[in-house]
Structure 1
Amino acid sequence: FETFLHRCLIRVRSDKEFVYDIIGEVIKVGATGISVGDTVGCNLPNEFGQLIADIKANTPGIQDVIISTHCHNDLGLANANTLAGVCAGARLVDVTVNGIGERAGNCSLEEFVMTLKCRGEQVLGGLYTGINSKHIIETSKMVEEYSGLKVQAHKAIVGANAFSHESSLHQELVN
């Protein structure tokens, strides 16, 4: 049994009917997965989520196919776009530890996982990853060490300052 994943390099401004036709054709020849990417990191979350929703609504045979996302972080929106894609029906996501990737990076595993852990059940319809978040910081440090790419102190979730509070007002609000 073979699995075929077709990666769609789609821009929001692409002719959507053409996109549906292309995806429909690759499904006909056996694609079991479709990866929809924001490969230049220029989409806004509402645009990317709508693209996934439109593909689901307008592509024949899509109900039997796993839709995945592949978002770049050029505008700092990879996590938000990935979340929008999942909320619109994507079931698989490309993420990287510490957001490492080409140019400005990709959707950060630690940010995505913790967003779903903290807000997935209450706000996002019960979405979860099944990933044990207890090892995220340790994993981040290991990737930092092996890759030689330093994690910024102010990086969300894994940065050294991520949960530090300095202003007295802020400390009072946290306590």
Structure 2
Amino acid sequence: MTIVARAEVLAEQLVAPLGRRWSHVQAVAARAREVAAAVPGDEVETLVAAAWLHDIGYSDQIGQTRFHPLDGARFLRAHGWPVSIVNLVAHHSGARFEAAERGMSNELNEFPFVDNPVLDALVLADLTTGPSGERLSYDERISEILQRYPEADPVHRTWVKAAPILKEAVMRAELRISANSA
């Protein structure tokens, strides 16, 4: 079984019971395939597997800290997943900003942050997909997040700070897609 197939099976086991979150994960994985031109060919499977797995930390079966990137990464590391996928799950979509808001930066630092084209493509896939799997622009997605969480919530505070920086990641991925499609 390929790494992508294994990731899909595990994601379904852990995330399908969460309802709409499962719709989001399926759409992010599909979007990752669409944006695969943003990464080197030998990294496409890593990107798609990470897209399947990025939200497994929301599962009650594995969530211990209630900070889903950390819980997902710890679970994957404990189960022998490749370090590149584990680190992508740990740091997807601005997790370092939310970790700072939650006072969990030291815990997240168990996983090296690697700012690379695969992370940019994962950010693009995740942050152009709405909570029910609908396609959104980056700006629409950030607006949706800010509306969903009250101003005092760490998630809201995270996105106020992280949005401009992650927009740069999205733009880098889009530029790579354009360059590789020409």
| Common topology (TM > 0.5) | no
Higher RCO (Cα < 8 Å, 6 or more apart): 2
Query: What is the TM-score of this pair, normalised by structure 2?
Result: 0.27
Q: Going by fraction, where is helix more abundant, 1 or 2?
A: 2
User: By percentage of residues, which structure has more strand?
Assistant: 1
